[in-house]
């Protein structure tokens, strides 16, 4: 029997090839995911080890000296300054060869228009000769008039080594310096980096008694851990001490794929594999039907049913193994493609595409196992049915249908699931507020319903879809419409992958459209200003001179400046807020009369105009959290050991309907007080951000030029127009969406291939029919048209069902996520539907051409 298996693998090359391609596509996303994640890790690793400068121990401030963001501890270099005297202390520790103070700060390269280019986080650092080997090109700065910058900044601003550029550090005046080299940012991948000579450290940190952290090198023979312990012992826990290796590991973790991303990719690839099994099963059913005669003959000459089953399953395993290797190769390409999408989306801090694709033994093993298993599982039931064909029966019949008829139980169950599910989704989504649990359960149930009901539902829908083709396209159209619904199970299995892929796309498009609409809507409703002015370095506020100068610009109609600080808000009885401490809120000082000119805050209680000195306005979420209402009092305290002052709540505003992405780009704060009260409480006149609206009739370009002129003495100030802010807010989701669309696009590709695969095999199966049609005078072009239309009908059926389901679920999700606007992107959905149908017709070209080109007599004579 092994000989039979091998000879039949060779003999049925063509058909097995189609099966193999289905498996290749199915497993390629799985292997692609592994390749992407592994390569991403390797790239992160390489990025962290790009500077093997022999730093053994790093000493910096303790974590509690730095505020934490999102609960993640801040890395040692970013924790804020330590005394410079520490350097000498460390140099005296036994086993230390050298201790070097490093100063970290903010600096930006100015563009040709004299303003910093916004976008990436600006970081500057002292660069000593130990970096010489790490440079991408050039040399390290030899004096204060020389800098190195990161390759990405050099590329965007078209700066080359040797060019003279203007650099501004926070607060300082711009200086003209020479670029002497390119260097990847050492402490944070992806930052906009400026490296300065150690003698220029005071431009970054104007206090000579402080440094950001200290790099320590060990004498030969002393390990990093030993030195770390020795250093730590002399410091009494006053400072944080870490080995160079640990710091590197931290850097790797920061640049690595987040676990959530890895999980999403893996889920997407499993969905693709699931889609793949339908196709593979379909393929096996057709291939085995066409071989039923051969199998029956083997039974006649004495092969047992078990022998046949084992032989065919072994064949499936061989095909699965070979195809997995193909899938592995394709997976490398897929992983690389997704990586480049991530790169253009700016979603990844390291350049994954610049790294050799990583194919680990684990990836090979998993891919092989998945491929073989998929082949076996998909082949299992068709093989069982094919080997059960009665020997004699098989020798007589004309065409075998291995597909079982569709049962009534399936129709009833599927119908219940689908209609119950959509009913739940609708009921949950229409309820106000939306009931998340109902929407979720309904979505799961209707998805299951589509799976179960597919074979029942596909033929009538395809018949409906095919009606137009049947009427308008002559005999070819008519036959296409008939053939599309000839085999319900097959029709369902062929359309299902398309349904799943397009349902995901429909879901995402609708959700994204809702999110975008609510973001843009929230933005438009709220922001009245035309420009935002902000220091490129968010840590350093602007001089109060900035709003004064802006107010003097004739083109500017109104200016509102925001002073911002963190504060602790309490409502408890005692002056120390005994009851469980307070809430940390962002507090803004702003003139309420000017605020109205730049921002329309949705006030739900009280009035902002009442915000006299001593009054406070609160965001509703905070007010609810602290139990504050208009008329009640709250206490504020800023900084450690600052004074506590009492404020009367005068207004409450609600920003929850604006959408998180809009709020992040708007001057929306937790609490507002008047500038006078702010200065009394915080004692700092500096301004964090200024918004200005322009007089009617002034063009944005003219206004921008006037503002830029007025702020010529403040080169650290970024000027951002309303359109740019709006675009950034709306595009917040884009990098993630692009990756999703790419993944789902691949699924659609697999689905389209499935249609073509089935079409090619069906044509092979119906070759006598094609021969007969040709004898009777069907022109080749009519044969081609017939098969193309068949593909189109199948594709249109899957598309219609998938997009409808996806749009419904997407709409329900926008409701469940409480987005303020729901929008079904009809144009986009219709566009993808048309694209899918046209693509399927194009893809049907080669098999249709083959079928049309078949020799008439040969076709008639074939079995």
Give the binding range for other proteins (CB under 8 A) out of 154-162, 276-284, 481-489, 640-648: 481-489
Which one of 780, 804, 817, 849 is in contact with other proteins (CB under 8 A)? 780
Span interacting with other proteins, options 5-13, 185-193, 472-480, 730-738, rule CB under 8 A? 472-480
Which ranges constitute the DSSP H helices of 401-531?
Answer: 408-430, 436-472, 474-484, 488-526
Q: Coil, helix or strand for 501? A: helix
Helix axes 780-816, 767-775, angle to 10 degrees: 130
Q: How far apart are CA 104 and CA 188, in angstroms?
A: 11
Stretch that binds other proteins, among 178-186, 252-260, 605-613, 770-778 (CB under 8 A): 770-778
Q: Residue 780 belongs to what H/E stretch?
A: helix 780-816
Does position 474 bind other proteins by CB under 8 A? yes
Nearest residue (CB) to other proteins, 629 versus 862:
862
CA angle, 464 as apex, 764 and 787 as ends, to 5°? 25
Other C-beta atoms lying within 10 Å of the C-beta of residue 624: 13
856 binds other proteins (CB under 8 A): yes
**What is the distance between the alpha carbons of residues 139 and 184, in angstroms, rounded to a whole number?**
13
Smallest separation, CB 375 to other proteins (Å) = 31
For other proteins, the closer of residues 50 and 774 by Cβ is: 774
787 binds other proteins (CB under 8 A): no
- Return phi, psi of residue 835, to 5°: -60, -45
527: DSSP letter: B
Segment interacting with other proteins (CB under 8 A) among 36-44, 169-177, 475-483, 716-724: 475-483
Q: Does the protein bind other proteins through residue 857 (CB under 8 A)?
A: yes
Buried b (16+ CB within 10 A) or exposed e, 5-36: beebeeebeebbebbbbbbbbbbbbbbbbbbb
**What is the number of other CB atoms lying within 10 angstroms of the CB of residue 692?**
25
Kindly indicate which of the ranges 329-337, 478-486, 563-571, 673-681 contains the residues binding other proteins, using the contact rule CB under 8 A.
478-486
CB 697 within 8 A of CB 556: no
Footprint (CB under 8 A) of other proteins, residues 195-254 = none
End-to-end CA distance of the chain: 24
Of 246, 482, 718, 734, the residue at the interface with other proteins (CB under 8 A) is 482
Minimum Å distance from CB 296 to other proteins? 19
Measured from the CB atom, is 22 or 481 closer to other proteins?
481
**CB 454 → other proteins: shortest distance, Å?**
21
Q: How far is the CB of 775 from other proteins (least distance, A)?
A: 6
For position 777 contacting other proteins by CB under 8 A, the verdict is yes
Per CB under 8 A, does 773 bind other proteins? Answer: yes
Shortest separation between residue 315's beta carbon and other proteins, angstroms: 29
- Residue 782 touching other proteins (CB under 8 A): yes
Binding region for other proteins (CB under 8 A) out of 17-25, 106-114, 374-382, 774-782: 774-782
**Range in contact with other proteins (rule: CB under 8 A) among 4-12, 288-296, 554-562, 765-773:** 765-773
Site string for other proteins, 348-387 (x = CB under 8 A): ----------------------------------------
Residue span 715-754 as binding mask against other proteins, x where in contact by CB under 8 A, dash where not: ----------------------------------------
219: CB partners within 8 A, 6+ apart: 95, 96, 97
Listed ranges 310-318, 339-347, 436-444, 768-776: which one lies at the site for other proteins (CB under 8 A): 768-776
Q: Are the CB atoms for 450 and 485 separated by under 8 Å?
A: no
Residue among 325 and 860 whose Cβ is closer to other proteins: 860
Alpha-carbon distance 34 to 359, whole Å?
8
Rounded-to-5 percentages of helix, strand, coil across the chain: 60, 15, 25
**475 near other proteins, judged by CB under 8 A:** yes
Point out which span in 157-165, 350-358, 618-626, 777-785 binds other proteins (CB under 8 A). Answer: 777-785
* Least distance (Å) between residue 394 CB and other proteins: 17
CB 285 within 8 A of CB 761: no
Q: How far is the CB of 487 from other proteins (least distance, A)?
A: 11
- Residues in contact with other proteins, total (CB under 8 A)? 24
Q: How far apart are CA 666 and CA 726, in angstroms?
A: 9
Residue 397 interacting with other proteins (CB under 8 A)? no
Q: Of 613, 779, 818, 826, which one interacts with other proteins (CB under 8 A)?
A: 779
- Are 808 and 499 in contact by the 8 Å Cβ rule? The answer is no
Is residue 594 near other proteins by the rule CB under 8 A? no
Residue among 451, 481, 449 at smallest CA distance from 465:
481
Is there binding between residue 763 and other proteins (CB under 8 A)?
no
Q: Is residue 398 involved in binding other proteins (CB under 8 A)?
A: yes
Q: Nearest distance from residue 856's CB to other proteins, in Å?
A: 6
Q: How far apart are CA 38 and CA 794, in angstroms?
A: 38
Min dist. Cβ of residue 397 to other proteins (A) = 11
For 845, phi and psi rounded to 5 degrees?
A: -50, -60
Among 461, 550, 601, 778, binds other proteins (CB under 8 A): 778
Q: Select the span of 350-358, 500-508, 702-710, 778-786 touching other proteins (CB under 8 A).
A: 778-786
Supply the DSSP string of 170-232, one letter for each residue.
TTSPPEEEEEEEE---SSSTT-EEEEE-GGGHHHHS--TTEESEEEEEEPTT--HHHHHHHHH
- Is residue 99 involved in binding other proteins (CB under 8 A)? no
Asked if 120 interacts with other proteins (CB under 8 A), we say: no
Nearer to other proteins among residue 305 and residue 478 (C-beta): 478
Helix (H) or strand (E) holding 36: helix 13-48
Tokens of 309: 């089953």
Please report whether residue 765 would count as binding other proteins according to CB under 8 A: no
Q: Which is nearer to other proteins, 835 or 856 (CB)?
A: 856
Is residue 327 within 8 A of residue 26, CB to CB? The reply is yes
Residue 478 contacts other proteins per CB under 8 A: yes
> Is 287 exposed, middle or buried, given 0-12, 13-18 or 19+ CB atoms closer than 10 A?
buried
Please tell me the distance from the alpha carbon of residue 391 to that of residue 395, in angstroms, as a whole number.
7
Residue 151 near residue 204, CB atoms below 8 Å? no
Tokens of 479: 């036959």
Which residue from 71, 574, 776, 827 is in contact with other proteins, where contact means CB under 8 A?
Answer: 776
Cα 831 to Cα 317: distance, rounded to the nearest angstrom = 40
Judged by CB under 8 A, the residue of 99, 296, 479, 556 near other proteins is: 479
Show Cβ contacts of residue 61 under 8 Å, excluding neighbours closer than 6 positions.
Answer: 76, 79, 80, 81, 82, 213, 239, 240
Nearer to other proteins (CB atom), residue 401 or residue 839: 401
Q: Which of 769, 821, 824, 849 binds other proteins (CB under 8 A)?
A: 769
Say how far residue 848 (Cα) sits from the centre of its chain.
Answer: 38
Q: Which of 153, 483, 509, 510 binds other proteins (CB under 8 A)?
A: 483
The binder of other proteins chosen from 51, 385, 528, 774 (CB under 8 A)? 774
Token pair belonging to 234: 């002399």
d(CA 49, CA 440): 45
Of 486, 728, 849, 850, the one binding other proteins (CB under 8 A) is: 486
What length is written for the chain? 863
| Minimum distance, C-beta of residue 392 to other proteins, in the bound complex (Å) | 18
Cβ-based nearer residue to other proteins, 271 or 852 = 852
Applying CB under 8 A, the residues found at the interface with other proteins are: 398-399, 474-475, 478-479, 482-483, 486, 768-769, 772-780, 782, 856-857, 860
């Amino acid at each position: 029997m092994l000989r039979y298996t091998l000879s039949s693998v060779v003999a049925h090359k063509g058909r097995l090839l189609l099966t193999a391609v289905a498996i290749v596509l199915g497993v390629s996303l799985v292997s692609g995911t592994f390749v992407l994640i592994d390569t991403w890790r390797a790239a992160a690793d390489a990025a962290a080890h790009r500077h093997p400068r022999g730093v053994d121990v790093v000493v910096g401030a303790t974590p509690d000296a730095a505020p934490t963001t999102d609960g993640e501890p801040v890395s040692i270099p970013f924790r804020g300054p330590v005394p410079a005297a520490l350097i000498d202390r460390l140099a005296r520790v036994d086993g230390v060869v050298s201790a070097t103070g490093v100063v970290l700060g903010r600096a930006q390269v100015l563009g040709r228009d004299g303003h910093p280019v916004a976008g990436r986080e600006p970081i500057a650092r002292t660069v000593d000769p130990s970096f010489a080997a790490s440079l991408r090109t050039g040399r390290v700065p030899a004096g204060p008039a020389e800098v190195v910058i990161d390759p990405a900044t050099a590329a965007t601003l078209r700066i080359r080594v040797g060019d003279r550029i203007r650099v501004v550090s926070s607060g300082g005046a711009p200086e003209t310096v020479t670029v002497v080299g390119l260097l990847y940012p050492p402490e944070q991948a992806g930052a906009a980096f400026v490296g300065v000579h150690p003698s220029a450290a005071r431009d970054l940190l104007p206090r000579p008694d402080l440094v950001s952290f200290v790099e320590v090198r060990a004498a030969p023979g002393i390990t990093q851990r030993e030195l770390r312990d020795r250093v730590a012992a002399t410091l009494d826990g006053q400072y944080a001490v870490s080995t160079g290796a640990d710091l590197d590991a931290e850097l790797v973790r920061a640049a690595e794929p987040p676990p959530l991303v890895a999980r999403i990719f893996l889920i997407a690839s499993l969905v693709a594999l699931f889609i793949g099994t339908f196709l593979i099963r379909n393929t096996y059913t057709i291939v085995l039907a066409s071989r039923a005669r051969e199998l029956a003959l083997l039974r006649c000459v004495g092969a047992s049913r078990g022998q046949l089953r084992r032989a065919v399953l072994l064949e499936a395993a061989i095909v699965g193994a070979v195809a997995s290797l193909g899938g592995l190769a394709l997976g490398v390409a897929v992983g690389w493609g997704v990586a480049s999408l991530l790169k253009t989306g700016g979603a990844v801090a390291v350049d994954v595409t610049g790294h050799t694709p990583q194919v680990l033994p684990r990836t090979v093993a998993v891919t092989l196992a998945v491929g073989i298993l998929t082949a076996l599982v998909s082949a299992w039931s068709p093989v069982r049915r094919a080997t059960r064909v009665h020997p004699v029966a098989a020798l007589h019949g004309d065409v075998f249908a291995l597909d079982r008829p569709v049962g009534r139980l399936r129709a009833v169950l599927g119908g219940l699931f689908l209609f119950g599910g959509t009913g739940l989704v609708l009921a949950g989504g229409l309820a106000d507020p939306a009931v998340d649990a109902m929407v979720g359960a309904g979505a799961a149930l209707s998805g299951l319903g589509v799976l179960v009901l597919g074979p029942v539902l596909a033929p009538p829908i395809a018949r409906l879809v095919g009606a137009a083709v049947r009427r308008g396209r002559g005999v070819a159209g008519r036959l296409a419409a008939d053939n599309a619904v000839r085999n319900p199970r097959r029709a369902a299995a062929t359309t299902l992958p398309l349904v799943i892929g397009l349902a995901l796309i429909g879901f995402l498009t609708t959700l994204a459209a809702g999110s975008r609409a609510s973001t843009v809507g929230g933005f438009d409703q709220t922001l009245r200003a035309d420009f935002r002015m902000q220091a490129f370095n968010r840590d350093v506020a602007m001089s109060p001179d900035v709003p004064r100068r802006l107010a003097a610009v004739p083109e500017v109609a109104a200016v509102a400046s925001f002073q911002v600080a963190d504060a602790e808000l309490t409502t408890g009885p005692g002056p120390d807020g005994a009851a469980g401490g307070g809430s940390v809120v962002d507090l803004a000082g702003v003139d309420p009369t000017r605020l109205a000119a730049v921002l329309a805050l949705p006030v739900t209680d009280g009035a902002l105009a009442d915000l006299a000195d001593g009054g406070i306005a609160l965001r509703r979420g905070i007010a609810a959290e602290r139990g504050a209402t208009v008329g009640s009092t709250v206490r504020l305290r800023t900084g450690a050991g600052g004074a506590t002052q009492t404020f009367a709540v005068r207004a409450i505003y609600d920003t929850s309907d604006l959408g998180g992405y809009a709020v992040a780009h708007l001057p929306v704060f937790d609490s507002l007080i008047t500038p006078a009260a702010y200065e009394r409480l915080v004692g700092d006149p500096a301004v964090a951000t200024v918004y200005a609206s322009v007089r009617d009739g002034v063009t944005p370009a003219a206004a921008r030029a006037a503002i830029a002129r007025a702020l010529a003495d403040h080169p650290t100030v970024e000027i951002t127009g309303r359109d740019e802010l709006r675009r950034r807010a709306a595009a917040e989701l884009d990098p993630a969406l692009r990756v999703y669309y790419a993944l789902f696009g691949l699924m659609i590709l697999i689905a389209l291939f499935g249609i073509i695969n089935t079409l090619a095999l069906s044509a092979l199966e119906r070759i006598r029919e094609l021969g007969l049609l040709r004898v009777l005078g069907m022109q080749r072009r009519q044969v081609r048209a017939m098969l193309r239309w068949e593909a189109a009908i199948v594709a249109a059926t899957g598309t219609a069902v998938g997009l409808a389901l996806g749009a419904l679920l997407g709409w329900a999700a926008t409701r469940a996520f409480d987005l303020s606007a729901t929008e079904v992107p009809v144009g986009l959905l219709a566009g993808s539907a048309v694209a899918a149908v046209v693509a399927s017709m194009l893809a049907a070209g080669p098999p249709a051409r083959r079928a049309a080109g078949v020799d008439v007599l040969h076709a008639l004579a074939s079995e």
